Chain A
Amino acid sequence: GESVGLHLPTLSVQEGDNSIINCAYSNSASDYFIWYKQESGKGPQFIIDIRSNMDKRQGQRVTVLLNKTVKHLSLQIAATQPGDSAVYFCAENISLDTGRRALTFGSGTRLQVQP
């Protein structure tokens, strides 16, 4: 599969541990945020999203936390499994005054799960 970035920050965790992946976003006007997972050789896959009027949202084994004060987003993965190994991207959605929308992706974090 393709390499998405030789210089990506890497988080290495033991199988069964919890993982926390962090993301700082840039635009205070962003009103919707998404976490994507990209496995080698595949396109980004939607994991979970959150609107700006929420602080926390939970899915199956994943939780997203949003701190608008410091423009910080985090993805928590409970009981990390080898299949969670991938590159994780946060994306922020901005509704422009023209009515258009723009989704901007972060640079990504590589998660490596050690058996």
Chain B
Amino acid sequence: DAGVIQSPRHEVTEMGQEVTLRCKPISGHDYLFWYRQTMMRGLELLIYFNNNVPIDDSGMPEDRFSAKMPNASFSTLKIQPSEPRDSAVYFCASSREGEGLTDTQYFGPGTRLTVL
């Protein structure tokens, strides 16, 4: 299995531009998570999906952030308009609901976003 795939790996954009981050979860996984990691705040959960349905988006910082999962193999995180404070590494993770509580999340390599 190729693991969780994210693209692009690096994104540099100017303030005000739209940014779209992409994620392909591990095949067969029921859950998909979007995280943001910064030096100051560490790893933060933004939103997660179960069977393509958004379950909890309470971590999404502002209305400028939106996430979709049109099918089981693809998700996007969009920031419009982007701001310099959005600069961070964004991780996508997926997991499969196993027996009991074994829902270990497998992370992608991340997208490093820099907003100038």
Does the CB pair B39–A4 fall under 8 Å?
Answer: yes
Measured between alpha carbons, how far is A93 from B107 in the docked complex, in Å? 16
Using a CB-CB cutoff of 8 Å, which residues 83-116 of chain B contact chain A?
A: 89, 91, 93, 100-110, 112
Measured between alpha carbons, how far is A101 from B50 in the docked complex, in Å? 11
Q: Find chain A residues with CB under 8 A from B55 CB.
A: 100
Assuming the contacts A31-B101, A51-B101, A95-B101, asked whether A43 and B42 have C-beta atoms less than 8 A apart, the reply is no
Interface size on A, residues (CB 8 A): 29
B43 at the interface (CB under 8 A from A): yes
Residues of A within 8 A of B (CB): 2-6, 31-32, 34, 36, 41-46, 49, 51, 89, 93, 95, 100-108
Identify 22 residue pairs between A and B in the complex whose beta-carbon atoms are under 8 Å apart, listed by A's number. Answer: A2-B110, A4-B37, A5-B40, A6-B39, A32-B103, A34-B104, A41-B109, A42-B110, A43-B91, A43-B93, A45-B107, A46-B105, A51-B101, A95-B101, A100-B55, A100-B56, A102-B45, A103-B33, A105-B42, A105-B43, A106-B42, A108-B42
